[in-house]
């Protein structure tokens, strides 16, 4: 395999000159540049990405760190990010932190070694002050334009693209009350996360404002997973005081709830009312009338990447916070007809 040293010897120049030609940095006499490029073309020499990164102060790569790459929400988010990246000269590195702050920190270090130009990150968590301080210091050390997506964290100074979490919980409770339900319950997300607390607080406030406050015994804590929601829903459905209507806190929580309802032989929209946060396209394919508070996740990814590009072009601009609006979609499960 031809090396950069081979190219230098054949062209009769130094390795540093070959490197400047490859990376288009520094001054090289035009005739020398043409001679070196001819040798590169003749031998089909292509430097490794790592070698290019080591020789450049800037690269054409963007880092993306998400906490649950298998979750369809983040799949749609990455799709939106990719749509914008495809219109540029950038490439991307994707990392899954698995909601683990240690893995998140290792991913940031790996991206630092790759000398990425920018970063899009959804933090693994936001409740541990020590972890938040470490994340802040890692991002400071990385020192590239950064956009925090979906989950903010205390003390963040970076641009952000987020969802109307409080409003989504509020409008769901309003819709359940408007549909005639009088006892409301909720399967929360992981309340260590701000997004879960905001949805929970919005739901409680709307129920209070509507004259049907939520009883503490009708709140079941989940963790934004199918398994956690399934276990919580089973406890709810088997209790002697099951609420008439339920809010499920994200797409995976809704799936866990529906699994428990199906096993119990019940039917949503007849035996129990429900509104879920997040649209689940697969339920539409099955013609399953599931009411939800939706958000345009693909657009969220597009917007996050656009904000990052703007920050890269104008690093001194004022911090930008963008909100993705919620949208209530009622398909019948918000009321009980039975």
pLDDT tens-digit map of 93-102:
999 999 999 9
What's the whole-model pTM score? 0.79
- Tell me: pLDDT of 278 over 80: yes
Q: How far apart are CA 328 and CA 308, in angstroms?
A: 29
Q: Which SS3 state, helix, strand or coil, does residue 293 take?
A: strand
Its sign, for the CA torsion 156, 159, 164, 165, is negative
Distances (CA, A) of 309 to 88, 147, 267, 315: 10, 10, 47, 10
Q: Is the Cβ–Cβ distance between 292 and 277 less than 8 Å?
A: yes
State pLDDT tens for residues 83-117: 999 999 899 999 999 999 999 999 999 998 888 99
Q: How far apart are CA 298 and CA 83, in angstroms?
A: 9
pLDDT of residue 49: 53
State pLDDT tens for residues 18-77: 877 876 666 778 888 889 889 888 887 766 555 555 455 567 899 999 999 989 999 999
For 24, residues 6+ apart whose C-beta sits below 8 A from its C-beta are none
Q: What angle do the packed helices 297-313 and 72-85 form, to 10 degrees?
A: 40
- Domains identified in the chain and CATH numbers: 4-55 (1.10.260.40), 61-163+297-324 (3.40.50.2300), 165-294 (3.40.50.2300)
Dump the DSSP string for 37-98. HHHHHHTT----HHHHHHH-S--SEEEEEES-TTSHHHHHHHHHHHHHHTTSS-EEEEEE-T
47/124: higher pLDDT: 124
């Amino acid at each position: 395999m031809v090396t950069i040293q081979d190219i230098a010897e054949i062209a009769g120049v130094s390795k540093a000159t070959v490197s400047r030609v490859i990376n288009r940095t520094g001054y090289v006499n035009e005739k020398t540049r043409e001679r070196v490029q001819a040798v590169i073309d003749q031998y089909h020499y292509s430097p490794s990405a790592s070698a290019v990164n080591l020789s450049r102060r800037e690269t054409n790569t963007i880092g993306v760190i998400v906490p649950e790459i298998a979750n369809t929400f983040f799949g749609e988010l990455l799709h939106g990010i990719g749509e914008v990246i495809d219109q540029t000269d950038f490439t991307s590195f994707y990392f899954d932190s698995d909601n683990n702050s240690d893995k998140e920190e290792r991913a940031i270090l790996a991206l630092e070694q790759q000398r990425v130009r920018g970063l899009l990150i959804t933090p693994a968590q936001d409740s541990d002050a020590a972890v938040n301080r470490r994340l802040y210091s890692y991002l400071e050390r990385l020192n590239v334009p950064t956009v925090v997506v979906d989950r903010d964290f205390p003390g963040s100074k970076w641009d952000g693209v987020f969802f109307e979490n409080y409003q989504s919980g509020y409008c769901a409770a309003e819709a359940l009350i408007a549909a005639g339900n009088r006892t409301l319950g909720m399967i929360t997300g992981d309340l260590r996360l701000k997004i879960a607390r905001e949805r929970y607080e919005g739901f409680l406030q709307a129920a209070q404002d509507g004259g049907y406050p939520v009883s503490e015994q009708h709140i079941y804590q989940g963790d934004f997973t199918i398994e956690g929601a399934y276990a919580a829903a089973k406890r709810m459905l088997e209790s002697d005081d099951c609420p008439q209507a339920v809010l499920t806190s994200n797409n995976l929580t809704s799936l866990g709830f529906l699994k428990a309802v199906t096993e119990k032989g019940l039917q949503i929209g007849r035996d129990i009312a429900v509104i879920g946060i997040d649209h689940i396209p697969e339920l539409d394919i099955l013609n399953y009338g599931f009411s939800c508070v939706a958000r345009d996740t693909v657009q969220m990814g597009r917007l996050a990447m656009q904000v990052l590009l703007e920050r890269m072009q104008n690093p001194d601009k004022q911090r930008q916070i963008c909100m993705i609006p919620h949208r209530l979609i009622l398909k019948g499960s918000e009321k009980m007809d039975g």
